[in-house]
Structure 1
Amino acid sequence: MNPWGPPIDVLPYFSKEEQSLMTLLSALTEEDWTRPTMCAGWSVKDIAAHLLGDKVSRLSRGRDDHQSDGPRPGEAFPRFIDRLNEEWVVACRRLSTDVLLTMMYEFMGQTTEYWAKLDLDVLGEPVSWAGDGPAPRWLDAARDYSEFWVHHVQLREALEHTPLEAEYAEPIADTFVRALPHTLRDVDARVGKQVGYTVTGKGGGRWHARRERDGWVLDRGAPPSRTPLAAVATDLDTFWRLCTRNAPDLGRVKTSGDENVCAVVLGMTSIIV
């Protein structure tokens, strides 16, 4: 059983988003690099360094089959990821902005090439927020792109810059909602019950999770049932902030149906925390 729904093609977006990011970063002043961001304790430079770390880590373990240390004994996976990210960012503070930009230019495009050479329909690494087992590579690629997009948006907000082009957000809601079946894993419902999620505006859509004998599965479109177990609706900006814990405006969220199930859905997280 495939709980994640139909594939998402994010390959057309990687290079364009990277080019937009580098155009932004290359025009920054030294003062701009030090601006604080919504990532507590991280400046604009720190988020840029984190993005570089994500890309070189993906290439090292995926393309080059490099094995690095795993979690310490008793260390939870999210804490392990947080520690690695913080260690990398702190180390990159020793770099000048020119050196950091040079390194980012060097690796731009290589993650796109990496994903383009793979069969994205086969199972690969787990996407932890979508389930514990192996996930299809297309979902892992979409996870990569969605994280790059979120950090790019955070940079633009910190810099009070023009918003990121709307076209780059087209696959974001469709990616983050793939966490819905895993989010509902402990919700006990009879076979056939459905939970709907609607994201309005450009890049939005409608999805529903349906209870099957072996768990919840996701599909595009509104729930076929006129009375789903629960339903949530909001706009894209609120949706991605909800899924990444980036200070969403809950006043822009509408719910109906079972209140407890709605609360579970609103706790959906599509990023490692």
Structure 2
Amino acid sequence: MSPTRWGPPIDVLPLLAGEEQALIEVLGGLGAEQWAAPTACAGWTVHDLAAHILGDKLGLLSRDRDGYRTTEPRPGEAFGAFLDRINAEWVLACRRLSPEVLFAMLVDSTSQVPQLWGRLDLDDLGEPVTWAGPEPAPSWLAAAREYTEYWVHQQQLRAAVGAPPLDTPTWRAPVIDTFMRALPFTLREVSARVGRQVSYTVTGSSGGRWTAVSSPDGWLLDRATPTSRAPLASVATDADTFWRLCTRNVRIDDVRDRVSLKGDEAVGETVLRMVSIVVS
């Protein structure tokens, strides 16, 4: 896999099967009340969230493996609104399924997604990862995006049923690394002379430091330590706060005490509003 303007590639393929198995193990031990428990996804129960995860996987297999595409935005419908609509339609339909049937379908789909990505050349360009920019993205970034969505939903599901989070560095560090690939796109409206830098540090064993550098072709991302002694802006926070900010699971104003911001305040605020999910 080759470096891009989004930085060095991320290889999540070795993690996909393990993440799926961890989800199956949690769901396999749930009782009826736990399946009906509310989650952080407004209006969705554990059953609904599990159905959404299943829909994501079956939709990916249908589109990217089988070339079967039957849904598209309505005229004038924004992409985020389109996704919200079809996700809601799928979850509503799946409420007709018992937890046992839903669980069996999740088990049956296990390993098919890792097999799909394993057959692809991860350097090949495909559809955009919209929160990282509108241009075609390499398949390794698309695979990493899928992993982050499964991981985030599993955290929400685990929290709803009182199961321990899947937050060791093995599982969480690739999520942090992937979400950070939204940084160049986040800075797209920030004008700076060529060579100016913006750094984002995530503390703890799952974190690290990422540097966006202004270039004639826009902002570029690197995992290297900033070479500038005075970056345009520097932001730092912990891993748990970071992924929740990027997925809008928390509000910035509620976690100010967990965030450090130095340099240009407006640029720092732009960085803190980075979103690494599709929103309507």
In structure 2, what is the equivalent of residue 258 of structure 1? Answer: 264
In structure 1, what is the equivalent of residue 97 of structure 2? Answer: 95
Q: Deviation at 1:159? A: 1.1
Quick one: which of 223, 226, 231 aligns to 1:228?
231
In structure 1, what is the equivalent of residue 143 of structure 2? Answer: 141
Residues 205, 221 of structure 1: 8 Å contact kept: no
Q: Deviation at 1:122? A: 1.4
3-state SS of the aligned residue for 1:170? helix
C-alpha separation between the residues in 2 aligned to 1:165 and 1:108? 21
Q: Deviation at 1:22? A: 0.3
Q: Deviation at 1:196? A: 0.1
In structure 1, what is the equivalent of residue 55 of structure 2? Answer: 53
3-state SS of the aligned residue for 2:185? helix
Q: Deviation at 1:169? A: 1.0
Correspondence 1:198 to 2:201? yes
3-state SS of the aligned residue for 2:59? helix
List gaps (5 residues or longer) in structure 1.
Answer: none
3-state SS of the aligned residue for 2:181? helix
In structure 2, what is the equivalent of residue 170 of structure 1? Answer: 173
C-alpha separation between the residues in 1 aligned to 2:273 and 2:80? 16
Q: Which amino acid aligns with 1:138?
A: W
Residues 4, 217 of structure 1: 8 Å contact kept: yes
Correspondence 1:180 to 2:183? yes
In structure 2, what is the equivalent of residue 66 of structure 1? Answer: 68
List gaps (5 residues or longer) in structure 2.
Answer: none
Q: Deviation at 1:165? A: 4.6
Q: Deviation at 1:168? A: 1.2
C-alpha separation between the residues in 1 aligned to 2:65 and 2:163? 34
Q: Give the number of aligned pairs.
A: 273
Q: Deviation at 1:160? A: 1.7
Moved over 6 A (4+): none
3-state SS of the aligned residue for 1:221? coil
Correspondence 1:267 to 2:273? yes
Output the TM-score relative to the length of structure 2. 0.96
Quick one: which of 129, 132, 147 aligns to 1:130?
132
Quick one: which of 155, 158, 163 aligns to 2:157?
155
C-alpha separation between the residues in 1 aligned to 2:4 and 2:19? 29
Q: Which amino acid aligns with 2:96?
A: R
Question: How many percent identity over aligned positions?
Answer: 58
Of 45-54 and 240-249, more deviation after overlay is shown by 240-249
C-alpha separation between the residues in 2 aligned to 1:68 and 1:189? 43
3-state SS of the aligned residue for 1:171? helix
Q: Deviation at 1:231? A: 0.8
